[in-house]
Structure 1
Amino acid sequence: MPRALTVPTLLLLLALGACGFQPVYGTRGTGSASSSVTADLAAISIGPIADRRGQLLRNSLRDKLTPRGVPARARFRLDVSLTENRSDLVILKDSTSTFSKVRFIAEFVLVDLATNQPVHRGRSESTTTFNRVESDFAILAAEKDARRRAADEIGEDIRLRLGLYFDRTRGS
């Protein structure tokens, strides 16, 4: 029985290798001509983003794009504008809300610093929710956590979009 399982597994692995699959964050090429999306992401300088929610998003982007610190020689700059909408849901008969929604919308532009021209634009959205309870402190903590989660989701989405952009430009 184990031998029967290894033959289909081997065929599946061979088919996967033949389909042209390449990991996005892998290294392409050899020697000095090699490139990696990770190196491209690490060469991005992240511009300031207004307000506390912008600081949350900028910190998330720095953790995801440049985990080893600010690049010494940035090749790109990421400019982000962020808007927030908050709405109360589940309104009770006494006009109190028990549930709220926080929505972040980020517009981003990747600028090539050599030409000072935009090379990629995008938009990312995230919606998170939190419960409203009797305690004001609990509401503030839940709202703060919802904002942090939304910023983290947008940071991850932007990282993925930029990774795909760099992968496509390297592949062509």
Structure 2
Amino acid sequence: MACAGLAGLGLAGCGFQPLYGSNSTTASGAKLSETMAAVDVQPIPGRVGQKVRNELIFANTGGGVAAPQKFKLRIAIREQVINQLVRISGDAKGQVYQLEASFKLIDASNGAVIHQGSAVSRAPYSRYQEIFANVRARYDAENRAAETVSESIKTQVAAFLASSA
């Protein structure tokens, strides 16, 4: 406990600042939470795309009203299912749902791409004889992957905006 306190004191003077702290600011001095609320997440096609978008909107605004748009976030996703544990009969006992997303952060005032990146998530799930169980397992895997990808994108965008906006 004392070591953690000493480490905290040691970092206090070096300019270290938590990314998601209540007093986190951008390089220009604006509150990071307000800057993130000004990011307009563009629609993404498909159920999983909508899930990623909703997760990002909620993470950026906290469920409140979005600030006037300063940035646009365009995201393209690619989905893939990978069979695992394939039996001699050719049936897969398990599958991995893979979600890849590439994104561009665009300055809304001039349309210039100011940051881009990508995120990947893999969510394994088991296959069963019951059709409904397979559908539900796949949906759960898609939701887990969407949450992971949206968190990764949010962190990358927040880190960029904290250091340059």
Change (3 A) 1:88 1:19: same
**1:126-141 correspondence runs (5 A):** 126-141=121-136
- Letter of the aligned partner of 2:71 in structure 1? F
Is the counterpart of residue 22 in structure 1 residue 17 in structure 2?
yes
Q: 1:119 aligns with which of 96, 102, 114?
A: 114
Structure with greater helix share of residues: 1
Structure 2 contact 38–70 (Cα < 8 Å) conserved: yes
**1:88-127 correspondence runs (5 A):** 88-127=83-122
**1:21-170 correspondence runs (5 A):** 21-26=16-21, 27=23, 34-170=29-165
Q: Deviation of residue 66 (structure 1)?
A: 2.2
1:34 & 1:99 partners in 2: Cα distance?
A: 49
Q: Deviation of residue 52 (structure 1)?
A: 1.4
Q: Deviation of residue 64 (structure 1)?
A: 1.2
Structure 1 contact 46–79 (Cα < 8 Å) conserved: yes
TM-score by length of 1: 0.85
- Residues 6-34 of structure 1 show CA distances to partners (whole Å, capped at 9, x for unaligned) of 6x6664443121232211234367xxx74
Give me the identity figure in percent: 28
For structure 1, the 5+ residue unaligned runs are none
Q: Deviation of residue 168 (structure 1)?
A: 1.1
2:52 & 2:122 partners in 1: Cα distance?
A: 14
Change (3 A) 1:152 1:13: closer
SS state of the match for residue 48, structure 2?
helix
SS state of the match for residue 44, structure 2?
coil
Q: Deviation of residue 68 (structure 1)?
A: 3.2
- Letter of the aligned partner of 2:160 in structure 1? Y
1:72 & 1:19 partners in 2: Cα distance?
A: 31
- Letter of the aligned partner of 2:32 in structure 1? V
Change (3 A) 1:150 1:28: closer
1:77 & 1:119 partners in 2: Cα distance?
A: 10
Please say which of residues 50-59 and 76-85 is displaced more in the overlay. Answer: 50-59
